[in-house]
Amino acid sequence: MKRYQAQITLLAALLISFAVSRISGQMNDYYLDIVLTAGISVILAVSLNLVNGHTGQFSLGHAGFMAVGAYGASVVSIEMGPPLLRLFGSSEAGQGVAFLAALVIGGLAAALCGWIVGVPSLRLRGDYLAIVTLGFNEIIRVILQNTKPDGVFGGALGLGGIPSTTSIFWVFGAAAVCIYVVTAMIGSTWGRGFLAVRDDEIAAGSMGINTTRYKVTAFVVGAFFAGVGGGLYAHQKGAINPEGFNFLKSVDVVVMVILGGMGSTVGVIAAAIVLTGLNEYLRDFEQYRMIIFSLLLIIMMIVRPQGLLPATLFQKKGRTA
């Protein structure tokens, strides 16, 4: 029983989110929206944490991958929705399968971009990834903005008319899968390689670990889930535009990871939920939000670089992770 604990937890989480989504129709739309946003933030933060926390790299372009996933999934839903529904049947289950296909395709598109961006920049040590991902984020935005307004991507005005399929089940199901995949990767014997790369790249390389491969794997998996998160976001809002996936969106996710504690899944989840709530609560102080966020980044790095809920809090004695 103990051996399958993680799998059982995942299954339970999926079942619970399915059950909750059955009754979520009675929730106030405003609160439902916040809950969904929080769940998507959890997906984004946990997947970024795999790269920035566990593997010790620094990606600044999570919103870029989110954009690829969001546009990929939306285009699949809009352009290929009817044939997909004919294939799977237009029952609720058929719609679910079609949505799943859209999300996975969006995620895979993001993962492919992650691979293209990651391979050149992750071969090297140092801070190149930060710049390249930041640049990627900008390029994706510029490309999307310069597409034809009447084309499939909708140009600067963005895409509308995306079916609102995202529900509690999809968001929390995806979050559970994301958390499961990340913890299973990190917890496995093979996954020690990620932590080894973070702790000392030279030593890890000397021990026979292919550091580039580990870094690229983490980055591609992170990009995949960012894409899935983007797909969920698009199908929650119903309309997306390139400006919604700018650098600041990436910074939001980075702040979640740093506040929660790089490499601490629990901390990052908590930070994602709390910060999403705070953003809603502090709508009136929008002007000060980024000033406070940036000050937080600086102060955290000087005073408590391990984050508010670091991974060491949750470790059993005598184990290191």
Q: What is the DSSP string of 182-234?
A: HHHHHHSTTTHHHHHHHH-HHHHHHTT--HHHHHHHHHHHHHHHHHHHHHHHH
In the complex, minimum distance from the CB of residue 217 to another protein, in angstroms, rounded to a whole number: 19
Task: Return the SS3 of 308.
Answer: coil
In the complex, minimum distance from the CB of residue 197 to another protein, in angstroms, rounded to a whole number: 12
Residues that bind another protein (CB under 8 A): 56, 58, 60, 117, 120-121, 123-128, 130-132, 134-136, 138-139, 142-143, 145-146, 202-203, 206, 247, 251, 254, 258, 287-288, 290-291, 293-298, 301-302, 305
In the complex, minimum distance from the CB of residue 254 to another protein, in angstroms, rounded to a whole number: 8
CB closer to another protein out of 20 and 131: 131
Q: Which residues contact 2 (CB under 8 A, 6 or more apart)?
A: none
In the complex, minimum distance from the CB of residue 297 to another protein, in angstroms, rounded to a whole number: 3
CB closer to another protein out of 60 and 171: 60
CB closer to another protein out of 251 and 275: 251
CB closer to another protein out of 94 and 155: 155
In the complex, minimum distance from the CB of residue 301 to another protein, in angstroms, rounded to a whole number: 4
Q: Which residues contact 211 (CB under 8 A, 6 or more apart)?
A: 197, 201, 204, 205
In the complex, minimum distance from the CB of residue 146 to another protein, in angstroms, rounded to a whole number: 4
CB closer to another protein out of 184 and 299: 299
CB closer to another protein out of 186 and 254: 254
Q: Which residue in this structure is represented by tokens 């510029």? A: 142
CB closer to another protein out of 155 and 277: 155
| Angle, alpha carbons 220-226-231 (nearest 5°) | 125
CB closer to another protein out of 42 and 262: 262
CA dist., res. 49 & res. 35, Å (int): 21
CA dist., res. 162 & res. 182, Å (int): 29
Cβ atoms 178, 19 nearer than 8 A: no
Strand-pairing partners, residue 240, are 159
Signed CA dihedral, 231, 308, 136, 122: sign only: negative
Q: Please name which of 28, 125, 107, 10 lies closest in space to residue 67, comparing C-alpha atoms.
A: 107
CA dist., res. 288 & res. 223, Å (int): 30
In the complex, minimum distance from the CB of residue 263 to another protein, in angstroms, rounded to a whole number: 11
In the complex, minimum distance from the CB of residue 57 to another protein, in angstroms, rounded to a whole number: 8
